[in-house]
Amino acid sequence: MTKTQATIITIGDELLIGQVIDTNSAWIAQELNKAGVAVRRRVAVADDWIEIWNALDAELENADIILITGGLGPTADDITKPLLCKYFGGTLTVNDEALANVKYLFEVVFKRPLIPVNLKQAEVPDVCTVIQNKRGTAPGMWFNKNGKIIISMPGVPHEMKGMMTSTIIPKLLEEFDLPVIVHRTLLTAGVGESFLSENLKEFESNLSKDIKLAYLPSSGMVRLRLSSSGFDKIETIKAIDHKFLELQSIITEYIVTVNDEPLAKALGNLLATDNKTMATAESCTGGHIAQLITTNPGSSAYYKGSIISYDNAVKENILKVSAQTLLEHGAVSEQTVKEMLAGVLKVVGADYALAVSGIMGPDGGSSDKPVGTVWIAAGTADKYVTKQFNFRFDRARNIEFTSLNALNLLRKFITGQP
């Protein structure tokens, strides 16, 4: 089975110096995968004529499709369009539809005067198929060379996504006979990658050559992904679903969710199904748990809110943690998170709550409570669990690990897992 293979090229000095994070490649790869196109390489190059030219030469050797983002703006450092024009032996000409779009955007939407440099956005190589940009001024370009397809899009994510969804993906589906690519992903917690690998050794060795197992560790959790592709959609899905059920049966006790979703979403689904609500009382995480929860659409159905009691005065005055508790046991203690839990449940009125307090670093620790010491409480007004953690990372990772372990502690409390 021959797979249609793609390369994604992102252009911009800002990507190489870390000033801007390349989110375009990840989104494009996901969309291509859904369509049945296998992404084999992602390449980032500078705003440099030779670098871009060489990247095109190199990727055309192996890829069937090259998707390029960036370098289509009106300023001098945006060189992608004139380069592609020369690369494919064309001449820049004004595209009437693109010109009308530029005029409409400036005169009607932006209400700003047009200057010559803006009008040049409507110029495209006469050897390309123009991809109109309904979300911006720079049109995209579609080239064919020796049976290979090269597509150039703006680097602005909103504009690129509009082109991909409305024009590029449908056109690729017309051009190629594409297989179905299927993934099944589950999330585990409380177990390391090496331990999972050892437990799944026999399972992995018995997989057919068409199904691959990937281990994706992150922040104390591991996602396991089975992937397969084929031109018979029904048979491909049937085969991978059978192995996915077998995979689940081997590691049942460690599974958080059998959907490709983050922990916060899995917890939210659990609450929504039971028609229950939750709240958070956060000290050391400073609202990060709330952010993880509310990133998910629909979270207002089950999330009441958070009290960020970063200062002890907030713990006392709003959450009603007693001064005696703070004096005798300190802010980072089992006693304090118990009272924080009771306080937030009373103030917010949710069914469940989480409370966290800890020392994230790089300073603030002591011999009794070193940096990374965390206490978490999860439960209801009548029943709860507490747990101490001792992380060993930098501040950012300590916050991330605290937040995820708190969410998982509440999930286990609700489901009755030990």
Residue 114: per-residue pLDDT:
86
Q: Are strands 303-308 and 278-282 parallel, antiparallel or unpaired?
A: parallel
Cβ-contact 309, 282 below 8 angstroms: yes
The confidence score (pLDDT) of residue 277 equals 98
| Mean per-residue pLDDT, 25-53 | 96
Q: Is the pLDDT of residue 343 over 90?
A: yes
Reported confidence tier of residue 118, pLDDT bands at 50, 70, 90: confident
**Percent of the chain residues topping a pLDDT of 70:** 100
Residue 168 has pLDDT above 90, yes or no: yes
pLDDT attached to residue 418: 79
8 Å CB contact between 359 and 372: yes
pLDDT at 39: 96
Rounded to an integer, the average pLDDT of 163-178 is: 96
- What is the average per-residue pLDDT within 70-79? 90
Tell me: pLDDT of 1 over 80: no
Q: 320 pLDDT exceeds 60?
A: yes
How far, in Å, CA of 196 to CA of 200, rounded?
6
Indicate whether 20 pLDDT > 60: yes
Task: Mention every residue, 6+ apart, whose C-beta is less than 8 A from residue 151.
Answer: 65, 66, 67, 68, 131, 140, 141, 142, 143, 168
Residue 256: DSSP 8-state = E
Q: Is the pLDDT of residue 262 over 90?
A: yes
pLDDT given for residue 379 in this prediction: 98
What pTM did the predictor assign? 0.83
- Bridge partners of 356, per DSSP, are 282, 376
pLDDT band for 2, please (50, 70, 90 cuts).
low
- What angle is formed at CA 44 by the lines to CA 40 and CA 45, rounded to 5 degrees? 130
For residue 76, pLDDT over 80 is answered with yes
Summarize the confidence of residues 361-385 as an average pLDDT.
96
Report whether 363 contacts 371 (CB < 8 A).
Answer: yes
Q: Quick one: pLDDT at residue 30?
A: 96
Asked whether residue 264 carries a pLDDT value surpassing 80, the answer given is yes
Share of the chain above pLDDT 90, in %: 93
Q: Phi/psi of residue 191, each to 5°?
A: -150, 145
Specify the pLDDT at position 220: 86
CB within 8 Å of 156: residues ≥ 6 apart:
135, 136
Is 398 in contact with 361 (CB distance < 8 Å)?
A: yes
The mean predicted confidence, pLDDT, of the chain is 96
User: What does the block give as tokens for 183?
Assistant: 């993934």
